[in-house]
Structure 1
Amino acid sequence: MNSNTLVQKIWNFCHTLRDDGVGYGDYLEQLTYLLFLKLAHEYAQPPHNRATHIPRSCDWNSLKTRTGEPLEAHYLTVLHKLGEEPGMLGAIFFKAQNKIQDPAKLSRLVQMIDAENWLSLDADVKGDLYEGLLQKNAEDTKSGAGQYFTPRALIQAMVECVNPEPMKTVADPACGTGGFFLGVHEWLTRPGVPLDQKQGRFLRHETFHGNEIVAGTRRLCLMNLFLHNIGELDGAPSVERADALISEPWKTVDYVLANPPFGKKSSMTITNEDGEEDRDALTYERQDFWQTTSNKQLNFLQHIVTMLKTTGQAAVVLPDNVLFEGGAGEKIRRKLLETCDVHTLLRLPTGIFYAQGVKANVLFFDNKPKDGKVHTKGVWIYDLRTNKHFTLKTKPLKRDDLQDFIDCYHSANRHKRTETERFKYFDYDTLIARDKASLDIFWLKDESLDNLDNLPPPDVLAQEIVDHLEAALASFREVAASLPAASSADVSNDSGK
């Protein structure tokens, strides 16, 4: 069976399960469990003869020799036992559950996976299959998985601009399903740039370090990396299941590429003795942060600075509020401009993320020694938002849409850049003198305001209206959430006035 036929076979069975109420996410999890066990079985056979550390009572043979209800019962036992194992095994099967309630269809899925020799397939085939399923899952709005999925075209452009080198470390403190890691892996293994044996080992075992707080997403990330030849079957997972903002820090790294979760509220929910949410506790008290704030993106931005070596580089997707917010936001921006070399800002168009209402940017900066000097000379801003219209379905963002930005970025020598209509330079003194040191800067005129003939197609226009309304609603929710709750006494006093 060729790769295209296999991919179609996997897709078709996914559609069959959807008729039973099994969504892409649930299907992905079951495929992950079974495919991992089948790959382990293949690695244990000649010529590999590898010790997989999977108990014989839980191995692939124990599944494929059963059918019907005995298979279903044994499958549940396997998921539970392997979830208690250390290392990669325990990470893949952590709190694993069977979501396929029809034993006959579970048996069919086992037989379908057993029929293939997966190790004989190219890593690109296995990886593309899994990536395709991840994207389908992200497109399914009911699953909510879109929040973990960054457009691959954007990842490719960010990686090409940063231009990571072999034998250097890469981190993502909120890595989702591993898109940035795979983007770096693809860049370092691109045709015409061969790696030697030492570089290849480093890429597979030591390059990537991540955090993902959601257990199911972390599982998908680890499997996604494994299918792309990153990590080992019986090794330690390269992605920790922990909140990066409160977990023990790694040693510093060379690169951080990330799209931290949007939404200002902390991922922690802490209650006081009365069982009520403790709003004062929803901040991260860290001595290495410039400011204490409950704004999650500002905390991730500060955290990323602490993760970098003094020669480290970062490219981070951030929402608009990080560019203009006052208070802690202003203080953090001023400190960032002073202590790091903040050199490039890409203003992203709306309509490219699965989460609606997102207005985002990519901030590129280099860490510098904390020597008291001002390290930002100026920031180059590329406006890819004004007069640009995209939707996820009819006009998705493509790699070619970012080519002009990549050319303007000029990674070969950032000091030989040229201004264009969309690419402008703002020196440090100009930026620091702006109200709140705001980086929320536009200069292009919206052509549709003067000429109705320039309006985007109706479906694009409708989606942009939805995005704007969603963004406004999100802002109102954040304001409401930040207000102290009125006590019953307050309500009583108000009603008596």
Structure 2
Amino acid sequence: MNTAPIVSKVWSFCTTLRDDGVGYGDYLEQLTYLIFLKMADEYSKPPHNRSVGVPEGFDWASLKAKRGAELEVHYVDLLRTLGTKPGMLGQIFTKSQNKIQDPAKLYRLIDMVDGVDWVMLGADVKGDVYEGLLEKNAEDTKSGAGQYFTPRSLISAMVECLAPEPGKTIADPACGTGGFFLAAYDYLNDPRHGGLDRDQKAFLKHDTFFGNEIVANTRRMCLMNMMLHNIGEIDGESCVSPNDALVTASPQTFDYVLANPPFGKKSSMSFTNDEGEQETDDLTYNRQDFWATTSNKQLNFVQHIRSMLKSNGRAAVVVPDNVLFEGGAGETVRRKLLQSTDLHTILRLPTGIFYAQGVKANVLFFDNKPASPDAQTKEVWFYDYRTNVHHTLKKKPMTYEHLADFVACFKAGETHQRAETWSEDAPDGRWRKYHLKELLDRDKASLDVFWLKDKSLTDMENLPAPDILAEEIIEELEAGLESFRSVQAELTGAER
């Protein structure tokens, strides 16, 4: 089947709507509603004969039958009605709104969606179309969607290192648009990692993935993204909860957790004071299963992820630099993590790879272990893919190939065969291990470890191109501003 016309049509219509001020996010939102309704209509007919729960008069046929102002009024009513329904239907349409004010263009979009048999279309095609729109939406800095989009090259490398096995559960407590789920699904479906039997395929489709996403529109996109990749069922229950994962302990434990929790240091909530003014206050989660009580949501996510794991469960989680060196609750969490889990690997990431700018991040890989008086971590392997590494989102984006050396050094399933690339004779080696005692003896048990020399300080000839340098300077300034905002927020809170 020639799929190029479908892809071209979807993208060209997006361009048409952008001329009317409809951004990628709004287009993606409306496309999600319409594709879901069209798929529900296709499933209601032979040979499927399945009901998704769409009431008569608010179905695909009702949209196709109207034009002009009547269509616009009916579409708004349809969105509102379907958002009150239970199950997957209600999750997709919760808090839904019409963002296309021109009824003629709305009808053209309906007609375009109607021209495709979405159920029969290959998952790779419809999934790639949707993923492409998600990435375009993340690039639109005004929309703020970048905070929910993790670079797919990084996700692929993390999944490759975790090497999930069939028949095991995978969770993400802040799943965004579902990037980790899709990468794990592709990994498990890849014949190179062993074929799946019928029961394993059924488990992968229906029982493998569990997530939380509190932002309604992001959760909607995650569910549609998974559905278009043939994960779950259109008439089944949602595997993505709208609840805040940090509020209570997870009702079940999982074999794997893959996550990139939201950027930002503090959790806060808004409220109206006695004078009728809006104020914000730090949100602290008092959990008996947490090692430390703090308003730092990154530290809370690390503690929560550890609590989500089975006794032999494994995790890979993206965290900002402050998790590696912050004192107080940060030191407590690090020491407990080193004691109760095998925190065996830390990947240091460069700036210029996330859509939220100025982010300095790392990936922690740790395996849960049964309770023991002895520290479970014996040594931590660090891979420094930050020092002397220069990436920008547009001119030099990070690809999977850039992380291939790290994946090779990681040696998934054969970690006992790891070998350092750093030595006294090879001081530029990026792969180096530190023993537990060395790390615990550091100030505040800091894991903010680096050993490579910054060549830009001594080698002027090998400086990056001026445009890349300019982007890096902007990133550093924005990171500094974000740090100042955090300090200001703390000072303001202390004065109240």
Normalised TM-score (structure 2): 0.96
Distance 1:311 1:179 in 2: 24
Per-residue deviation, residues 253-287 of structure 1 (Å, max 9, x unmatched): 00000000111110533566566778775211111
Aligned sequence identity (%): 64
Name the CA distance, whole Å, in 2 between partners of 1:320 and 1:372: 29
- Are the equivalent residues in 2 in contact too, given 1:345–1:363 (CA < 8 A)? yes
Question: Which residue is 1:423 aligned to?
Answer: 431
Equivalent residue runs for 1:5-404 within 5 Å: 5-192=5-192, 193-247=194-248, 249-269=250-270, 282-404=283-405
Change in CA separation of 1:485 and 1:341 when aligned onto 2, cut-off 3 Å = closer
Indicate conservation of the 8 Å contact 2:248/2:287, yes or no. no
| Residues 325/102 of structure 1: CA separation in 2 closer, same or farther (3 Å cut) | same
Q: Is the 8 A contact 2:266 2:282 kept in 1?
A: no
In structure 2, what is the Cα distance between the partners aligned to 1:179 and 1:266?
A: 23
What secondary structure is seen at the aligned counterpart in 2 of 1:142?
A: helix
Please tell me whether the aligned partners of residues 270 and 281 of structure 1 are also in contact (alpha carbons under 8 angstroms): no
Of 272-281 and 140-149, deviating more is: 272-281
1:175, 1:414 → 2: CA distance? 28
Q: Report the AA paired with residue 69 of structure 1.
A: A
1:406 equivalenced with 2:414 (yes/no):
no
Q: Shift of the alpha carbon at 1:438?
A: 0.5
Change (3 A) 1:268 1:200: farther
The size of the alignment, in residue pairs, is: 488
The amino acid across from 1:17 in the alignment is L
SS in 1 for 2:25: helix
The two structures, once aligned, show a CA RMSD in angstroms of 1.6
| Alignment of 1:483 onto 2:491 | yes
Does the residue aligned with 1:380 lie in a helix, a strand or coil? strand
- Assess, with a 3 A threshold, how the Cα gap between structure 1 residues 274 and 303 changes in structure 2: closer, same or farther: farther
> Which residue identity does 2:161 align to in structure 1?
C
Distance 1:272 1:331, change over 3 A: farther
Tell me, in whole angstroms, the C-alpha distance in 2 between the residues paired with 1:220 and 1:329: 33
**TM-score, normalization by structure 1:** 0.96
Quote the offset at 1:247 in angstroms.
4.5
**Aligned partner of residue 243 in structure 1, secondary structure:** coil
C-alpha contact 2:171 2:258 (8 A) present in aligned 1: yes
2:464 to 434, 456, 459: 456
Q: How far off its partner does 1:315 sit?
A: 0.2
What SS is found at the alignment partner of 2:474? helix
Aligned with 2:413: secondary structure? coil
Worse-superposed segment, 270-279 or 343-352: 270-279
Cα offsets for 1:396-438 (capped at 9, x unmatched): 0001000000000000311110001100000000000001100
Displacement of 1:372 in angstroms is 2.3
What residue is the counterpart of 2:448 in the other structure? 440
**Displacement after TM superposition at 1:23 (Å):** 0.4
Q: Which amino acid aligns with 1:112?
A: M
What SS does structure 1 have at the residue aligned with 2:366?
strand
- 1:386 maps to a residue whose letter is T
Q: Which whole-Å CA distance do the structure 2 matches of 1:187 and 1:127 have between them?
A: 15
Distance 1:487-1:295 versus aligned 2 partners, 3 A rule: closer
1:151-170 Cα deviation digits (max 9, x unpaired): 00000000000000111111
The one-letter code sitting in structure 2 at the alignment partner of 1:50 is: R
C-alpha separation between the residues in 2 aligned to 1:278 and 1:163? Answer: 45
Q: 1:467 is matched with which residue: 452, 457, 475?
A: 475
Offset of residue 56 of structure 1: 1.4
Unaligned runs of 5+ residues in structure 2 are: 422-428
Q: Is the 8 A contact 1:270 1:282 kept in 2?
A: no
Q: CA deviation at 1:137?
A: 0.2
Q: CA deviation at 1:381?
A: 0.1
Structure 1 counterpart SS, 2:315? strand
Q: What's the CA shift for 1:94? A: 0.1
Cα separation, 2, equivalents of 1:422 and 1:257: 24
Distance 1:214 1:341 in 2: 32
Distance change (3 Å), C-alpha of 1:97 and 1:369 = same
Paired letter, 1:38: K
